[in-house]
Amino acid sequence: MALSADTHDGSSPTGGKRRNSKRRILTSTYIGTVIEWFDFYIYGTAAAIVFNVLFFPEVDSAIGTLAAFGTLASGFLARPIGGIIAGHFGDRIGRKKMLVLSIILMGFGTVIVGLLPTYAQIGIWAPILLVVARVIQGLAAGGEWGGGVLMAIEHFDDKRRGLWGSVGMMGVPTGVTLSTAVFALLSLLPQEDLLSWGWRVPFLASIVLVAVGLWVRLGVDESPVFEREQRRRNEHQHSAREEQKAQPRQKAPIVEIMTKDWRNVLVGVLLVIGPFAASAVFITFGASYGTQVGFSRAEVLTAQSIANVVELIAMPLFGLLSDHIGRRRIYYWGGALLGISAFTLFAAFGSGSWLVLLVAFLFTYVAHGMMYGPMGAFLAELFTTGTRYTGASLGYQVAGAIGGGFGPLIATSLLVAAGGAPNYLYVAVFMLIVCLLSAGAAWFAPEMNKRALREA
């Protein structure tokens, strides 16, 4: 069971220090996730706007866009590996160490992208190095989410896990908002300047954000729930030595969950695949689609940025609401509405009106926030303390690899199969099916919002 609320109030002589610790933990969770996802999604936006020209100029526009989205997918495919590695050590030696490592690794991969020569300068090596940098980003992002969310959930009381978990999830739309806002400004540059140096600015500037996030994270204490689990293990080992008993070899967390908790891993994947596919298709593919049907890059990115801000406000509200009425109910209706929003959003793209497009984005992103708000707590509650980092990360990152990595590729292929823009029906049906899969998983998932976190 997580620490109770009264262990973190300000009634004791050290209450002020504890309140500061609480603020720093939540700030660390939020800022760290913002940085990770800013770095991760500026790549996605760049893939939709400039990478097809800079790194795949020898092919036609549609194939170049597919190739650029293919490099985007490589990062998503690396994320489950990063989640397993970080989860293993996060469940064994601590959440904090893995979070510090992940933010350093993400900054390194992002700066590499900003320094890369283009195809015109080094030929085929340019897209190869682009994929390498993207894989580094994917490994880092794979370890970030699970640790960041768990640090918030495991530090505080059981009654507000949905709210505390949403703080980590809020970093996702904030990072996306910053990345799309930056590219909205950069898209105002002349095309020559954007392609020569403008696109590099956000990748190189991320080093400042990484330095800030690293400073905040280094000042955060380890999760008390994890420390209690460590003490329990140590006491068990000490007792076994005193009794001169042979100690059974401890299984790796990934082996433990795949043999005993594989059903919850599957539930976790299905819970996340819908909102992840929606993020990738509506953000990354949407930016490309919008320019094909008559909107400027700046118009699409500005509408996305405003909708992201609204989602940012909605997420903690839905997280808190899930603490009262349950994760399943909020998540189920969020999935249903998100599936419907695929039709309203693409219809709005065809309206030619920026205001209509903005309203459609707002509807889409609020539905997305209904799922993202309680998602952190929903996944964390499925696993025990000794495997929670690995299990939650695996479910989240496998869904990311499938929904986020292949979503834009599938959407682009379906659009080509339908005859190109504005024939969006196949894409909308695809998104409806994927979102309903997540809604169905929520319907059958266990409701844990009123129970203590599972111990090993």
pLDDT digits (tens, 9 = 90+) for 11-21: 333 444 544 57
Summarize the confidence of residues 221-248 as an average pLDDT: 71
Residue % of the chain over a pLDDT of 70:
88
CB neighbour list of residue 455: distance below 8 Å, 6 or more residues apart? 1, 229, 384, 385
Least confident interval from 7-16, 309-318, 320-329, 421-430: 7-16
Question: Which pLDDT score, from 0 to 100, does residue 206 have?
Answer: 84
Q: What is the pTM of this model?
A: 0.81
Q: Which of 380, 396, 366, 313 is nearest to 155 (CA)?
A: 380
State the chain's mean pLDDT as an integer: 83
Cis peptide leading into residue 422 (ω within 30°) = yes
Q: What is the spatial distance between Cα 323 and Cα 156, in angstroms, rounded to a whole number?
A: 14
Give the confidence band of 8 by pLDDT, cuts at 50, 70, 90: very low
Summarize the confidence of residues 109-120 as an average pLDDT: 89
Least confident interval from 122-136, 227-241, 266-280, 308-322: 227-241
More confidently predicted of 301 and 196:
196
Contact 311, 37 (CB under 8 A): no
| Domains by residue range for the chain, with CATH | 21-223+252-444 (1.20.1250.20)
Q: What is the spatial distance between Cα 367 and Cα 361, in angstroms, rounded to a whole number?
A: 10
Least confident interval from 71-80, 200-209, 289-298, 346-355: 71-80
Summarize the confidence of residues 196-202 as an average pLDDT: 89
Give the confidence band of 260 by pLDDT, cuts at 50, 70, 90: confident
Question: Which pLDDT score, from 0 to 100, does residue 9 have?
Answer: 41
Summarize the confidence of residues 374-401 as an average pLDDT: 90
Give the confidence band of 248 by pLDDT, cuts at 50, 70, 90: low
Would the CA dihedral through 361, 366, 370, 376 be positive or negative?
A: positive
